[in-house]
Amino acid sequence: MWILENAFLIPLIPAVSFLVILLFGRSVIGAERVHKVGITAVGIVWILSMIAAVSWITQVEDATSSKADDAEHALVSVNEGLSASGSGAVDGDLYLAAEDDGHGSDDGHGYAAGPDPVISTADGWWSSGGIDFAVGTLVDGQTVLLLVVVTSISLLVHIYSSEYVKGDRRFVHYYAFLSLFTASMLFFVMAQNLVQMIVGWELVGVCSFVLIGHWWEERPNTDAAVKAFLTNRVGDIGLLVGVAILFGTFGTFDIDSINRAVGEMGSEVHFAMLMASIALMAAVCSKSGQFPLHTWLPDAMAGPTPVSALIHAATMVVAGVFMIGRLYPVFFEGFSIGTSSINLMAFIGGFTALIGAGLAFAQWDIKKVLAYSTVSQLGYMVMALGVGAWTAAMFHLFTHAFFKACLFLGAGSVSHAAHHTFDMREMGGLRKYMPHTYKTFVISTLALAGIFPFAGFWSKDEILLGALKGQESRYLLMLVFGCVVALLTAAYMTRVIWYTFWGEYRGHGHPHESPKVMTVPLWILAVMAVVAGAFNLPTPVLELFGLERFAHLVQTYAEPTHYLNAIGLSHPGPEWEMAAAGLVLALAGIAITFMYYWRNTGPHGLTERNRYAKAGYTFLEQKYYLDHLYTDIVVGSIKAPIARAANWVNNNVIDLVVNRAGEGARDSGRWVYRWIDQGTIDNTVNALGSGADAGGQGLRVMQTGKVQNYGSLLFGTAAVVAIVFVIVL
């Protein structure tokens, strides 16, 4: 348990590593060896995280067994009387809040979520006007889950990068900021209060900025970096305002207390929670790439590929999802997730999932396909949270991190082999040259597509199920979104595989398999993409093998039941029909795409079989087939229009609006500066002077020097004044 109470060590180690690398990297350690520092630090942190995970599991198990007797007869009740007691024993700066009555149950399927302790430590950081700002760590299942994800992916990316970024002009800085990012992200996930959360949130944003702009000599990279940072700042308005609302309502920053308070007060604070939720949703939209603030994420691919894998696929972009999960009672109350059948969060999530998937078809850059896929999958998670499927969202976050990181690293490996290009039109046939990359990529693709029994299948199924069942009423629109996206996801990923690995090599030079330093992490991730789903297998599945004990591990250990049951969250049981439907959709997506390419692919069959093409080998005609593919496959459906419309909207409306907003801000700035500042205010000041001057020039005409003219003026003025007096008095 020691590690859970001293969890601050976990972010501290990479932070120290950052300083060491930055300050001593070039001089003492040597530029080509800094990656060892980073890898060591993250390795230690990974071990600590694993220890933390084990301790956490032990803790939950202990609590469960010690409460076993109570649990036996409390088990029957499903969702009744589940009010959070909120009476954690407070002693000093450490309290262990053990719930007495926090039993969840999944519609009688008979597992007991154990009492759910939260370990929260806090030390006074500073105080202002009677309000104490604390710094501390909040460790619960969700934190531990993220610790595992972040440190695992980070470690693998560190290792992978040592080859991928080798010899880079800024190798030292790269590793320094990779460490800083890891530290910030870990700091963020164990933030004890909202202020810390903001700090972590901003710090990961800066690391993202620095790493996207890693090759800052080229203008597009810095543009992308600035765009990412600015878009995130837009969301930060929401974050700052949302935090201010929460603080104003509850008078505390403490996340644990806020969650408990919302659970207790419920509808009393509904309006404030609605406002806070909307504000925070803006932050989620920017950080987690949700519509309409997602446009920075594809551009962010300008950074080095491992960075994209770590930051822009697996960890930082899920910060928004994590925050929703962390403050779930707030959103649950604010958006009335329990009672509605559609709400802002679910809609934004579902819609983002749909447009992201649609856009992925229109890309030729493999990283951009993956980026849009990430957008889409993040939308899935947000949608899951929006329909009340908390566990499903976290589970999907967990599985997605592995297979998406694997896909990105695979893309990096491909580009490493194929002369640093990410254009799929210059790839092709790579499966022959790089078998490891190919295999891992396919495994991850299957996982992403949600094919049984890969990880994605299980998590996606839970999300669809959540939408189907909802809380009090089903989220029908979300279910439709989810199903369509399932189909699309499978289809565009198959397309990627086709262009990248099948067919003939269309690039220059001789592609080669990447070294082991890169393939081993790929394999690890691929294995995780296969087995990660096992961590939350539903009981009925495991019953077949007599392994019920291992069911719902994520749910059991990650879900903060004392918050969620306090707000009355129910868990739908698994349904074979839904699972089968999801699987069929995914398979259909793959099958249609595959069939299409299968019919038209190959050096031999292409020209003969295709009516529209004159020749089948050249790049241009491939593009032509793509248009044909779109019209052929999605005929009668609205997918291509959606993709194009979305792309069009993306490029012409949202980007335009963003650009125009920027230009407009600049223009209005210029306008205000020129006309108001320089023109009005400044001129008023200047005008006093020049007006006097001009007036003087005007009066100069009157200054004839002739006494009689002055006399005329004198008497005339006297007369006028006299007349005025006479009239007035």
Rule CB under 8 A: which residues touch another protein? 124-131, 133, 195, 198-199, 202-203, 206, 213, 216-219, 222-223, 225-226, 229-230, 233-234, 236-237, 240-241, 243-245, 247-248, 662, 665-666, 668-674, 677, 681-682, 685, 699-700, 703-709, 711-712, 715-716, 718-720, 722-723, 726
Q: Which residues on adjacent β-strands are paired with residue 136?
A: 122
- Residue among 10 and 488 whose Cβ is closer to another protein: 10
Q: Is the peptide bond before 329 cis (omega within 30 degrees of 0)?
A: no
| Residue closer to another protein (CB basis): 131 or 547 | 131
* Assigned token pair, 52: 């933390």
Closest to another protein by CB, 279 vs 449, is: 279
Q: How far apart are CA 310 and CA 707, in angstroms?
A: 90
Residue 131 or 638: which CB sits closer to another protein? 131
Shortest gap between Cβ of 124 and another protein (angstroms)?
8
Q: Select 283 or 567, whichever has its Cβ closest to another protein.
A: 283
> Do residues 405 and 443 lie in contact, with contact meaning Cβ atoms separated by under 8 Å?
no
Of the pair 245, 370, the CB lying nearest another protein is at 245
- C-beta closer to another protein: residue 543 or 682: 682
- CB 176 to another protein: min, Å: 12
Report the nearest approach of another protein to the CB of residue 280 (Å). Answer: 13
Distance between CA atoms of residues 297 and 212, nearest Å: 10
CA terminus-to-terminus distance, the chain = 94
Q: Are 495 and 370 in contact (CB under 8 A)?
A: no
* Sign of the dihedral through C-alpha 253, 259, 262, 265: negative
Rounded Cα distance, 72 and 36, in Å: 51
- Taking the least distance from each CB to another protein, the nearer of 79 and 222 is 222
Q: Could you tell me which residues are beta bridge partners of residue 133?
A: 126
Choice between 8 and 247, CB closer to another protein: 247
Neighbours of 249 (CB within 10 A): 20
- Provide the minimum distance between the beta carbon of 165 and another protein in the complex, in angstroms, as a whole number: 18
Exposure class string for 491-522: b at 16+ Cβ within 10 A, else e: bbbbbbbbbbbbbebbbeeebebbeeebbebb
Residue 107 Cα to chain centre, angstroms: 31
- Minimum separation from the CB atom of position 2 to another protein (A): 25
| Distance of alpha carbon 387 from alpha carbon 281, whole angstroms | 15
DSSP 574: P
Minimum distance of another protein from residue 95's CB (angstroms): 23
CB nearer another protein, residue 233 or residue 599:
233
Cβ distance to another protein smaller for residue 219 or 549: 219
Biggest CA-to-CA distance, the chain: 122
User: Closer to another protein at the Cβ: 240 or 638?
Assistant: 240
Question: Could you tell me the smallest distance in angstroms from the CB atom of residue 705 to another protein?
Answer: 3
Pick 651 or 686: Cβ nearer another protein: 686
| Shortest CB 293 distance to another protein, Å | 12
Name the minimum Å distance from CB 195 to another protein: 8
Amino acid identity of residue 85, one-letter, is S
In the bound complex, what is the minimum distance in angstroms from residue 81's beta carbon to another protein?
35
In the complex, least distance from residue 687 CB atom to another protein, rounded to whole angstroms: 12
Report the sign of the C-alpha dihedral through residues 373, 375, 381, 387, in that order.
Answer: negative
Q: Shortest distance, CB of residue 186 to another protein, whole angstroms?
A: 15
Q: Least distance from C-beta 311 to another protein, angstroms?
A: 17
Angle between helices 435-449 and 476-501 (to 10 degrees): 170
Nearer to another protein, 27 or 128 (CB): 128
- Closest CB 467 distance from another protein, rounded Å: 33
State the minimum distance, in angstroms, from the CB of residue 726 to another protein.
6
- Complex with another protein: residue 619 or 671, whichever CB lies closer: 671
* CB nearer another protein, residue 268 or residue 682: 682
Query: Given phi > 0 = left and psi -120 to 50 = alpha, else beta, which region is 126?
Result: beta
Closest to 177 in 3D by CA, of 155, 202, 209, 146: 209
Closest CB 227 distance from another protein, rounded Å? 9
Could you say which DSSP state residue 509 is in? S
641 vs 695, which CB is nearer to another protein?
695
Q: What is the CA radius of gyration of the chain?
A: 31
Min dist. Cβ of residue 596 to another protein (A):
44
Question: Taking Cα atoms as reference points, which of 507, 318, 497 lies closest to residue 405?
Answer: 318
Q: Which residue has the tokens 């929401």?
A: 238
Give the Cα separation of 255 and 626 in Å (integer): 50
- Residue 193 corresponds to which tokens in the numbers above? 């209060």
- Strand ranges inside 287-368, DSSP E: none
- Give the shortest CB-150-to-another protein separation in angstroms: 19
For 249-293, strand residue ranges (E) read none
Residue with smaller CB distance to another protein, 19 or 265: 19
CA dihedral 34, 35, 40, 45 (to 10 degrees): 110
- Asked if omega into 292 is within 30° of 0 (cis), the reply is yes
What residues are paired with 119 via a beta bridge? 96, 139
Give Cα separations from 353 to 315, 341, 348, 545 (angstroms): 18, 18, 8, 35
Nearest of 181, 162, 177, 178 to residue 521 by alpha carbon? 162
The DSSP symbol for 616 reads S
Q: What is the DSSP string of 315-336?
A: SGGGHHHHHHHHTHHHHHHHTT
User: CA-to-CA distance for 241 and 713, rounded, in angstroms?
Assistant: 65
- Determine the Cα–Cα distance for residues 353 and 372; give it in Å rounded to an integer: 9
Angstrom distances, CA of residue 290 to CA of 153, 229, 283, 397, 637: 23, 15, 10, 15, 25
